[in-house]
């Protein structure tokens, strides 16, 4: 078995989906994971989650790498691209199949319309159909719980509250849930600091980790930044791309949003000075635990 987390060297990561350029919301998540890793003498790895090519415009990954670099967020080691990890995902899927946890789902979108939880129509379909199909995992009728570094502890019964979920889509790509769990394990990630949009996805990931014999990282979810219209900042609601010209000010804004008391004299100062201060003074307990107010200049 694995040794307690406190005895392992800290390995954290930032794992953006390159569906567009970084915006202020993703910058805050990047800076939070960077600061938490560095404040604990850890490594901060970068993984590009380009698992779903049609959602990833050409050049978006390079753009993210360049932007992180311009914002002084330098990562350790090689960048991992999920598009190149297919055989690992397949390997994990085969293992889950061997454990007889998977079934083939041929339900159409219209059949599932309006259902909050997958109704289990294909639960007993263990032979590969000849028509297009997804692979789902039978959700355990069990509570999965975790403590969070910033938000309240969370628990949910997967079978009752989530249902059987997809690990490989009908049109081919492996699902985020499978990819994130396999790659976090392969990269030895033991601290996951990310946006609160993934808070309630964590029990699914813990379930998969347990099935696959992986250890569960420590999780910390950063409250989301809302747009002035009250939506999560995302590429979908057209949060503006961040530009290097605004970098010192945006880094200050991000550090403050994370509840850290950046001295006035450092507001808008060279990025390196700000990040060094924030690493030295990083206080997990000061990170807010609810949604953050809109930021006027990012929307
Ligand atoms: N790729 C996901 C995103 O950009 C993040 C995944 C994760 O941090 O677990 O929202
Ligand atoms: Zn089905």
Tell how far the Cα of 121 is from the centroid of ligand 2, in angstroms.
5
Tell how far the Cα of 92 is from the centroid of ligand 2, in angstroms.
21
The ligand that comes nearest to the alpha carbon of residue 195 is 1
Neighbour-count burial of 128, counting CB atoms closer than 10 A to its CB (0-12 exposed, 13-18 middle, 19+ buried) = exposed
Closest ligand 1 atom, residue 205 Cα: 9
Share of the chain above pLDDT 90, in %: 83
What's the mean per-residue pLDDT of the chain?
Answer: 92
On the CB side of 35, CA atoms within 13 Å amount to 30
In a domain, residue 294? The reply is no
Closest ligand 1 atom, residue 16 Cα: 4
In a domain, residue 224? The reply is yes
pLDDT tens digits along 130-140: 999 999 999 99
The answer to whether residues 21 and 168 belong to one domain is: no
The answer to whether residues 80 and 90 belong to one domain is: no
What is the token pair recorded at 67?
């932007």
Q: What is the residue whose two structure tokens read 């997967």?
A: 158
Tell how far the Cα of 117 is from the centroid of ligand 2, in angstroms.
11
Ligand 1 and 49: CB distance under 6 A: yes
- Cβ count near 58 (within 10 Å): 9
Q: How confident is the model at residue 97 (pLDDT cuts 50, 70, 90)?
A: very high
* Residue 19 DSSP one-character state: S
- Compute CA 64 distance to the chain's CA centroid, rounded to the nearest angstrom: 15
Instruction: Please give, one letter per residue, the 3-state secondary structure of 206-253.
Output: HHHHHHHCCCCCEEEEECCEECCCCCECCCCCCCCECCHHHHHHHHHH
Instruction: Tell which wins on pLDDT, 46 or 127.
Output: 46
In a domain, residue 1? The reply is no
Q: Would you state the pLDDT for residue 297?
A: 47
Classified as helix, coil or strand, 109 is helix
The answer to whether residues 164 and 92 belong to one domain is: yes
With DSSP H G I counted as helix, E B as strand and the rest as coil, what are the percentages for the chain, rounded to 5? 40, 15, 45
The answer to whether residues 154 and 45 belong to one domain is: no
The answer to whether residues 156 and 197 belong to one domain is: no
What is the token pair recorded at 156?
């949910």
Strand partners, 241: 23
Ligand 1 and 194: CB distance under 6 A: yes
In a domain, residue 298? The reply is no
CA angle, residues 145, 6, 154, in degrees to nearest 5: 15
Neighbour-count burial of 254, counting CB atoms closer than 10 A to its CB (0-12 exposed, 13-18 middle, 19+ buried) = buried
Give the separation between CA 195 and CA 252, rounded to whole angstroms: 19
Q: How many residues does the chain have?
A: 299
Q: Would you state the pLDDT for residue 2?
A: 46
Ligand 1 and 198: CB distance under 6 A: yes
Q: What is the domain range of residue 91?
A: 86-176
pLDDT tens digits along 202-255: 999 999 999 999 999 999 999 887 766 666 666 555 467 888 899 999 999 999
Ligand 1 and 184: CB distance under 6 A: no
Tell how far the Cα of 41 is from the centroid of ligand 2, in angstroms.
46
Listed residue (87, 121, 93, 89) closest to 107, CA to CA: 121
Q: Would you state the pLDDT for residue 298?
A: 43
In a domain, residue 299? The reply is no
Whether the CA torsion 243, 245, 246, 251 is positive or negative: it is: positive
Residue 182 contacts residue 88 (beta carbons within 8 Å):
yes
The answer to whether residues 75 and 193 belong to one domain is: yes
We report the CATH number of the domain holding residue 99 as 3.40.50.620
Ligand 1 and 183: CB distance under 6 A: no
Q: Global pTM?
A: 0.93
What is the token pair recorded at 106?
């041929």
Ligand 1 and 16: CB distance under 6 A: yes
Tell how far the Cα of 17 is from the centroid of ligand 1, in angstroms.
6
């Amino acid at each position: 078995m694995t040794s307690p987390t406190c005895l392992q060297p800290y390995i954290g990561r930032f794992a953006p989906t390159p569906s567009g350029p970084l915006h202020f919301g993703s910058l805050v998540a990047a800076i939070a994971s960077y600061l938490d890793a560095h404040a604990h003498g850890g490594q901060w790895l970068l993984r590009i989650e380009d698992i779903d090519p049609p959602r990833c415009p050409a050049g978006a990954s390079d753009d993210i790498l360049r932007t992180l670099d311009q914002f002084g967020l330098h990562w350790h080691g090689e960048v991992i691209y999920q598009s190149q990890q297919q055989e690992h995902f397949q390997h994990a899927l085969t293992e889950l199949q061997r454990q007889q946890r998977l079934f083939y789902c041929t339900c159409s979108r219209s059949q599932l319309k309006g259902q909050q939880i997958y109704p289990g129509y294909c639960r007993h379909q263990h032979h590969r159909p000849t028509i297009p199909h997804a692979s789902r995992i039978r959700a355990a009728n069990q509570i999965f719980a975790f403590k969070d570094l910033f938000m309240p502890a969370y628990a949910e019964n997967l079978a009752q509250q989530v249902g059987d979920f997809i690990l490989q889509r009908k049109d081919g790509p492996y699902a985020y849930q499978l990819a994130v769990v396999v790659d976090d394990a392969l990269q030895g990630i033991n601290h996951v600091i990310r946006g609160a949009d993934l808070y309630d996805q964590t029990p699914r990931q813990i379930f998969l980790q347990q099935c696959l014999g992986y250890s569960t990282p420590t999780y910390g979810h950063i409250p989301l930044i809302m747009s002035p219209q009250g939506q999560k900042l995302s590429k979908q609601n057209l949060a503006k791309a961040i530009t290097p010209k605004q970098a010192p000010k945006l880094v200050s804004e991000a550090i403050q949003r994370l509840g850290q008391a950046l001295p006035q004299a450092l507001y808008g100062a060279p990025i390196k000075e700000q990040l060094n201060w924030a690493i030295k003074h990083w206080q997990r307990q000061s990170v807010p635990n609810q949604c953050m107010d809109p930021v006027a200049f990012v929307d």
